[in-house]
Structure 1
């Protein structure tokens, strides 16, 4: 097992070095605080910071939780590299509230919706594509949202009625999640029942920006994804949520499951049970999706 994990670390750092060849850009990063109701039968609200990174030809929206931990994780991984002693990073990494990544390609604003699943021991990206034509009704109502001069617009999407406030002071026809198409950046948007509400909290320039976070790199992720129809995507992702280790289990003999892991408490089997519970707790935490129904393609 020690030899196995030594080989793992060599492969890990070779992989990170290779991923650092990813082209670097300058991004405009917009921070949106998302207040949401994870359980449809509960009044309890939760909050999470999300980000919209805008670069030359696209934008990337995602939960900020993983990105925000990069510096901490990097220090710990480099310490492991130096000492050669494996450490259980799962105790250090905070789970995000949302796992999807949404890329909008400019100027057509084609949406790519990405999730990660397991294919054996390797993370696999799956995605579906759609072009959404939002039917915005722009009002003459104006309001100050934070430090932004904003104007009101409404639309229906995903089975919910939405009210947005956009600012022409920020010349990006974009917004959080899949929302776009207004003559300025969306600085606030929420549905009529306040299940989901995004409010822009600030922004900054990110020099040497890369799409993959450091944590994604050490997890073995890359930028390639398998394109699926939305129906196939939903079936594949739902199957993964029901049994996250379906593709791994056939490889795990009783002998392997009973092995202890250097730097961790318990056996490989114990680790799998812990990870499986983590996955299921994550997926069961939210039964109130943003989209109640699929968007109609036009």
Structure 2
């Protein structure tokens, strides 16, 4: 039962990201509100809080949902460990809107794009690397964005036309998602069709910053990320989205599928079906990617 407990606990957090470092340092955390259009054929917009953590030798961009719930998850997990009774955490925590993590390595700004998939029941990281040279056209136009004096710049990226506002008040040549390369931090950026728009909402210093969240640590995720060419990454991740439990299903006998775990509603088979639906609902919620094309193969993103 303990093994099955860990299996489903790991599976629950398979969307979360991980990295091969766990060092404590100080980071500057910038909070961006992302307004986006998840469905390309709909005008409906959604919002999510994302963060850009800028440390000494790298920055890390991701959905803030998981980080923001760390303390809640810690309380729930410690209660389960104390009682020895499994609890379905999907009932009490929110899943992120976006599962990717983007690491920019300083000073060359090499980008590593990381996603989580499952190998059997064990989460594993897959990633591709790229060095992006944004061809920014800096304008003389200036504007106040929140408390910051900002200047306008435009560039084409991923099949979309982008307008950015950067501020030299914040001396970081970085920004949300993959964006970087301007003489100050990007405080606002959106594409021409307003499918994706990031606006800086605030920032703070994070002492003893660690790249791994609490949930990543206790779910025993492998810290190793497998780098691969982007085309292979796209195919691997696409296959996972179509059938998240493809590698796990052969391991599950009928006897195992019919078992129950104290504190869980239904059988292990029921839990697998529920989690499979959770995965598919997550991936099907967005058919309007940030990047419509990618330069490495000049093919449409699938």
Aligned partners of 2:106 and 2:3: how far apart in 1? 44
Q: CA deviation at 1:30?
A: 0.2
The runs of at least 4 consecutive aligned structure 1 residues that moved more than 6 Å come to: 6-9
Aligned partners of 2:22 and 2:59: how far apart in 1? 17
User: Could you tell me whether the CA contact under 8 Å between 1:212 and 1:222 is conserved in 2?
Assistant: no
Aligned partners of 2:198 and 2:271: how far apart in 1? 36
Question: Would you say 1:233 and 2:226 are equivalent positions?
Answer: no
Q: CA deviation at 1:92?
A: 1.8
Question: Would you say 1:176 and 2:172 are equivalent positions?
Answer: no
Q: CA deviation at 1:244?
A: 0.1
User: Could you tell me whether the CA contact under 8 Å between 2:6 and 2:219 is conserved in 1?
Assistant: no
Aligned partners of 2:98 and 2:22: how far apart in 1? 25
What's the counterpart of residue 92 of structure 2? 92
What's the counterpart of residue 16 of structure 2? none
Question: Would you say 1:55 and 2:55 are equivalent positions?
Answer: yes
Aligned partners of 1:222 and 1:58: how far apart in 2? 21
Unaligned runs of 5+ in 2: 11-18, 298-302
What's the counterpart of residue 149 of structure 1? 149
What's the counterpart of residue 30 of structure 1? 30
So what's the TM-score if we normalise by structure 1? Answer: 0.93
Aligned ranges for residues 11-160 of structure 1 at < 5 Å?
22-160=22-160
- Are the structure 2 counterparts of residues 145 and 7 from structure 1 closer, same or farther at C-alpha, using a change threshold of 3 Å? closer
Question: Would you say 1:161 and 2:161 are equivalent positions?
Answer: yes
What's the counterpart of residue 16 of structure 1? none
Q: CA deviation at 1:296?
A: 4.9
- Are the structure 2 counterparts of residues 296 and 245 from structure 1 closer, same or farther at C-alpha, using a change threshold of 3 Å? closer
Aligned partners of 1:200 and 1:28: how far apart in 2? 13
Q: CA deviation at 1:4?
A: 4.1
Q: CA deviation at 1:23?
A: 1.6
Aligned partners of 1:6 and 1:154: how far apart in 2? 50
- Are the structure 2 counterparts of residues 247 and 155 from structure 1 closer, same or farther at C-alpha, using a change threshold of 3 Å? same
Aligned partners of 1:55 and 1:61: how far apart in 2? 11
Q: CA deviation at 1:269?
A: 0.3
Aligned partners of 1:23 and 1:158: how far apart in 2? 33
Q: CA deviation at 1:83?
A: 2.1
Aligned partners of 2:126 and 2:219: how far apart in 1? 16
Q: CA deviation at 1:85?
A: 2.1
Question: Would you say 1:204 and 2:204 are equivalent positions?
Answer: yes
Unaligned runs of 5+ in 1: 12-18
Aligned partners of 1:294 and 1:4: how far apart in 2? 41
User: Could you tell me whether the CA contact under 8 Å between 2:34 and 2:197 is conserved in 1?
Assistant: yes
User: Could you tell me whether the CA contact under 8 Å between 1:132 and 1:295 is conserved in 2?
Assistant: no
Aligned partners of 2:105 and 2:144: how far apart in 1? 29
What's the counterpart of residue 195 of structure 1? 195
